[in-house]
């Protein structure tokens, strides 16, 4: 059938859709601090029920999962829509121009924690289903919704949840909207995610801070321990020096090289999304580093005194937080063990702990998957431009659970603007991108129904 009446319904209910999103943003759901997460799960399930989507909150040993379903024909194509309703902590609060949990519209954007990551994107799928229910009595395919509450804390319980509810979650494809569009504003199809493993290094010197004059040269300095260790892990160019780190990195083939060469790149525009003037590299290098190469990052370093004035001490303890982004075929457990073994060889005094936000495995869907072309046609019908196909997103999501646990491939179609500011102050979502997202989801439902015979593997 024509989707015209569905798109008309979406346009007629713009204000209502925005108010639903605002309601969701007002409810804090900070999984790292266990603030408001369970309340947000109940709120989200209630919103879905009010919109005509049978939904429930399913408790887990960690944070609850919100599940909903519109499945009327067991023979129809089934799409599982994944998202997360938990958000990052809003701190620091000072740079926010409006309170993080008071959604505020400024210059065509909605500001607030979770607007782009991920409440504003997951609710587009729900609102698209609502439009189909109101305009046509229901969507043309079966829809299943899985919205978790601990993605920002590592999705530690998602794999077990999917394993436990595998028959209930059975689907032909998993559809994920998270992250931002191409820096030019063009739509994107993402076929995977880098993985991530969190590591903490701890160096202990004396059992107390010591005078840097009276004890200098005698008491060990844990900051130097970590500084020397870290310099043996990564060279100045960013290449990781840990033995065996690159052993399982999948070689880049001719198909990947061709896609990399054709991807748009503007060093000034791309740099602007990061707060930089330019990027000293070419397009294939940029995209290869973000999508197909691992990255060893220092995200935090704490030791000593940095308050007003000075305090001439030898710190007693130093701590370094690391996140390692991995590509498909690298395993988080193996990389952690290699980091641990390297530290033991270089400086056995340093503790290596797997803690922080947990770990997520890398994943990748083949670019010739039949659903890719179908989704691309749906995006083109709404946005009027061809989407860019990314082999892999630079960020990390728990998408590896879909092929490894559920046995289903996944496709990512981000709806947020590239400069959404996710994880930082003044996170925002362009209102036009929000409404576009609802339209795209609605169109994808019909496109998959029309191509049922060719996209079901």
pLDDT, one tens digit per residue, over 101-151 is 999 999 999 999 999 999 999 999 999 999 999 999 999 999 999 999 999
Handedness of CA 221, 222, 223, 226 (dihedral sign): positive
pLDDT score recorded for residue 457: 59
pLDDT at residue 152 above 70? yes
Higher pLDDT, residue 208 or 253? 208
- With vertex at residue 413, the alpha carbon angle to CA 410 and CA 418, rounded to the nearest 5 degrees, is 140
pLDDT, one tens digit per residue, over 27-77 is 999 999 999 999 999 999 999 999 999 999 999 999 999 999 999 898 999
Percent of the chain exceeding pLDDT 70 equals: 98
Domain ranges of the chain: 4-193+363-455, 195-250+292-360
Percent of the chain exceeding pLDDT 90 equals: 87
357: tokens are 């936000």
Q: What are the backbone dihedrals phi and psi of residue 440, each rounded to the nearest 5 degrees, phi first? A: -65, -45
Distances (CA, A) of 343 to 63, 241, 336, 351, 407: 34, 12, 11, 8, 37
81: tokens are 């829509």
Model confidence band, residue 1 (pLDDT cutoffs 50, 70, 90): low
Residue 300, strand partner residues: 321
Residue holding tokens 């001439």?
312
Q: What's the farthest any 2 CA atoms get from each other in the chain?
A: 83
- Closest-CA residue to 222 (of 316, 118, 359): 316
pLDDT score recorded for residue 192: 93
Residue 318, strand partner residues: 203, 303
Model confidence band, residue 454 (pLDDT cutoffs 50, 70, 90): confident
pLDDT at residue 182 above 90? no
Handedness of CA 446, 449, 455, 457 (dihedral sign): positive
CATH topology of domain 195-250+292-360: Alpha-Beta Plaits (3.30.70)
Q: What are the backbone dihedrals phi and psi of residue 19, each rounded to the nearest 5 degrees, phi first? A: -65, -35
pLDDT, one tens digit per residue, over 233-277 is 999 999 999 999 999 999 998 888 988 998 888 899 889 878 899
Neighbours of 106 (CB within 10 A): 11
pLDDT score recorded for residue 357: 61
DSSP labels, 16-62: HHHHHHHHHHHS--BGGGTBSHHHHHHHHHHHHHHTT--EEEE--SS
Structurally, at CATH architecture level, domain 4-193+363-455 sits in: 3-Layer(aba) Sandwich (3.40)
- Strand blocks (E) in 185-305: 188-190, 192-193, 195-204, 210-211, 295-303
pLDDT score recorded for residue 356: 59
pLDDT score recorded for residue 433: 98
Long-range contacts of 295-298 (CB under 8 A, 24+ apart): 295/194, 295/238, 295/324, 295/325, 296/233, 296/234, 296/238, 296/240, 296/322, 296/324, 297/322, 297/323, 297/324, 297/325, 298/230, 298/322
pLDDT, one tens digit per residue, over 76-86 is 999 999 999 99
Q: Model-level pTM?
A: 0.86
Please check whether residue 118 is in contact with residue 150, taking contact to mean a CB–CB distance below 8 angstroms: no
pLDDT score recorded for residue 273: 75
Please check whether residue 171 is in contact with residue 74, taking contact to mean a CB–CB distance below 8 angstroms: no
The contacts of residue 279 (CB under 8 Å, 6+ apart) are 267, 270, 271, 286
Length of the chain, in residues: 457
């Amino acid at each position: 059938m024509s989707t015209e009446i569905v798109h008309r319904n979406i346009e007629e209910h713009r204000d209502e859709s925005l108010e639903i999103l605002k309601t969701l943003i007002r409810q804090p759901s900070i999984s790292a601090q266990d603030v408001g997460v369970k309340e947000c799960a109940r709120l989200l399930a209630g919103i879905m029920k009010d919109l005509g989507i049978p939904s429930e909150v399913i408790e887990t040993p960690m944070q609850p999962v919100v599940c909903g379903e519109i499945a009327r024909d067991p023979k129809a194509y089934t799409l599982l829509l994944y998202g997360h309703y938990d958000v990052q902590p809003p701190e620091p609060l000072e740079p926010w121009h409006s309170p993080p949990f008071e959604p505020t519209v400024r210059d065509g954007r909605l500001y607030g924690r979770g607007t782009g990551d991920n409440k504003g994107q997951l609710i587009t799928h729900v609102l698209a289903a609502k439009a189909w229910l109101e305009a046509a009595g229901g969507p043309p395919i079966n829809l299943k919704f899985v919205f978790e509450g601990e993605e920002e804390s590592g999705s530690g319980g998602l794999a077990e949840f999917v394993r436990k509810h595998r028959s209930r979650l059975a689907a032909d494809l998993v559809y994920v909207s998270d992250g931002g569009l191409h820096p030019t504003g063009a739509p994107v199809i993402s076929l995977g995610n880098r993985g991530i493993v969190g590591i903490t290094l701890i160096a202990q010197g004396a059992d107390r801070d010591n005078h840097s004059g009276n004890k200098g040269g005698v008491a060990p300095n844990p900051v130097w321990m970590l500084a020397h260790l870290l310099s043996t892990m990564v060279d100045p160019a960013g290449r990781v020096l840990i033995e065996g780190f690159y052993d399982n990195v999948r070689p880049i083939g001719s198909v990947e090289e061709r896609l990399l060469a054709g991807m748009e790149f503007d060093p000034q525009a791309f740099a602007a999304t990061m707060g930089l003037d330019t990027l000293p590299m070419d397009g294939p290098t940029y995209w290869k580093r973000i999508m197909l190469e691992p990255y060893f990052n220092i995200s935090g370093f704490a030791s000593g005194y940095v308050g007003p004035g000075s305090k001439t001490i030898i710190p007693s303890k130093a701590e370094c937080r690391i996140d390692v982004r991995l590509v498909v075929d690298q395993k988080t457990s193996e990389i952690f063990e290699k980091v641990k073994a390297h530290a033991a060889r270089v400086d056995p005094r340093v503790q290596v702990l797997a803690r922080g936000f947990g770990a997520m495995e890398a994943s990748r869907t083949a670019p010739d998957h039949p659903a890719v072309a179908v989704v691309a046609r749906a995006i083109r019908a709404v946005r009027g431009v061809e989407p860019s196909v990314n082999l892999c997103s630079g960020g990390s999501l728990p998408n590896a659970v879909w092929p490894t646990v559920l046995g289903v491939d996944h496709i990512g179609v981000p709806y947020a603007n590239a400069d959404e500011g996710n994880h930082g102050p003044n996170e925002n979502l362009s209102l036009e991108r929000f409404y576009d997202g609802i339209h795209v989801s609605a169109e994808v439902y019909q496109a998959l129904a029309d191509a049922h015979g060719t996209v079901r593997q």
